[in-house]
Chain A
Amino acid sequence: MAASSTDPTQQLNDYIRTMHDQGILDDNFDQLLALRREQNPRFINELISMFTNDAEAYIAEITNALSLIEVNFSTIISKLHQLKGSTSGIGGHRMYQACCELRVAADDGDKDRCDELFLRVKEEFNTLKQCLDSISQMRSNIISNGTRSRRRRPL
């Protein structure tokens, strides 16, 4: 039976394809999806949660570093490196690009440019977070429905 647009799995696939088209996600996210076959079904959701928590912590630290009278560019660069790494791991393409641009400004010690580009990093993080939260929710629904279907199966 062909999958219809109301099929939750097809809806999830279509959503992920749209996120690719908009440049929000890249192939690295697809690599994570390929891992799910070997790991527990909630692994991807756990990974998304891990990324979100880590990214929020790094963003908070960069915010602090930028707010100092004597801006701490080495802290910014260090936390940005970690944020870039996590972002590339999760497949957040646009956010990764924003981090790269901020890195250039931080290397140059340009506070005004850092402020401007950091705003973009935070915007892209919010966009990516919403995207990943939606994917998490859709996957949770699929997993739950799959569990209920198995329980209804006759012995």
Chain B
Amino acid sequence: MSGNGASSSSLNMISGEDVVNNNLTALVVDDSPLLRLLHDIHLKKYGLKVQVAENGKVAVDLFHLGASFDLVLMDKEMPVMNGVEATKELRAMGVTSMIVGVTSKDGPGEQQAFMEAGLDYCFEKPLTPEIIGILLEELNKHNKKD
């Protein structure tokens, strides 16, 4: 999958209620402790193994150390290294994880710049359980094709 301006409308709107997967891993990258916690809980509800990182540099360093994740939730604005820079760096490293941007209510231009960094999807924060379920459906379909 590559970043192409995808939003919720371009996803197959299948209910994610039955998507409980004990094999998927996720990385939540956000400088807000509360949002890290919320996304962590939502993802664990679907059976994912979750790690968290408080900024883009921590996330990139994890990949440099050999970690891999099926799904990365990437906040856009973070100290040290923001989501745009981190996403570019991860894609330059050859990371093929599904990277989903999470942003505040920015203008469409700002979301587009984030998408062009290499995101697969971009949504407003916080992600709802429904959106997470749909993303996992897409991830499962993608993994089955491999």
Name the segment of A83-91, A115-123, A126-134 touching the other chain: A83-91
Name the segment of A10-18, A31-39, A144-152 touching the other chain: A31-39
CB distance A89 to B35 under 8 Å? yes
CB distance B35 to A85 under 8 Å? yes
A: which residues have CB within 8 A of B? 28, 31-32, 34-35, 38-39, 47, 50-51, 54, 78, 81-82, 84-86, 88-90, 100
Query: For the complex, what is the distance from the CA of A82 to the CA of B36, rounded to whole Å?
Result: 12
CB distance B33 to A34 under 8 Å? no
CB distance A50 to B33 under 8 Å? yes
CB distance B34 to A89 under 8 Å? yes
B1 nearest CB across to chain A (Å): 26
Query: For the complex, what is the distance from the CA of A51 to the CA of B35, rounded to whole Å?
Result: 10
Please count how many residues in chain B sit with their CB below 8 Å of the partner chain's CB atoms. Answer: 20
Partner of A28, one of B75, B105, B126: B126
CB distance A82 to B32 under 8 Å? yes
B: which residues have CB within 8 A of A? 30-35, 37-38, 41-42, 45, 75, 77, 79, 104-105, 125-126, 128-129
CB distance A85 to B129 under 8 Å? no
| B residues near A31, Cβ cutoff 8 Å | 126, 128-129
CB distance B79 to A78 under 8 Å? yes
A71 nearest CB across to chain B (Å): 19
Partner of A88, one of B37, B41, B45, B125: B125
B33 nearest CB across to chain A (Å): 7
- Between-chain CB contacts (< 8 Å), 28 pairs: A28-B126, A31-B126, A31-B128, A35-B41, A38-B41, A38-B45, A50-B34, A50-B37, A51-B34, A54-B32, A54-B34, A81-B31, A81-B77, A82-B31, A84-B104, A85-B30, A85-B31, A85-B32, A85-B104, A86-B33, A86-B34, A86-B35, A88-B35, A88-B104, A88-B125, A89-B34, A89-B35, A89-B38
Query: For the complex, what is the distance from the CA of A31 to the CA of B42, rounded to whole Å?
Result: 10
Q: Give the most central of A31, A32, A34, A78: most B CB within 10 Å.
A: A31
| B residues near A82, Cβ cutoff 8 Å | 31-32
Q: Which residue of B lies closest to A82 (CB)?
A: B32
Excluding A34-B129, A89-B34, A89-B38, 4 further A-B contacts by CB distance (< 8 Å) are A88-B125, A89-B125, A90-B34, A100-B104
| B residues near A84, Cβ cutoff 8 Å | 104
CB distance A47 to B34 under 8 Å? yes
| A residues near B30, Cβ cutoff 8 Å | 85
Partner of A85, one of B42, B45, B125: B125
Partner of B33, one of A38, A54, A78, A100: A54
B16 nearest CB across to chain A (Å): 14
Query: For the complex, what is the distance from the CA of A128 to the CA of B116, rounded to whole Å?
Result: 37
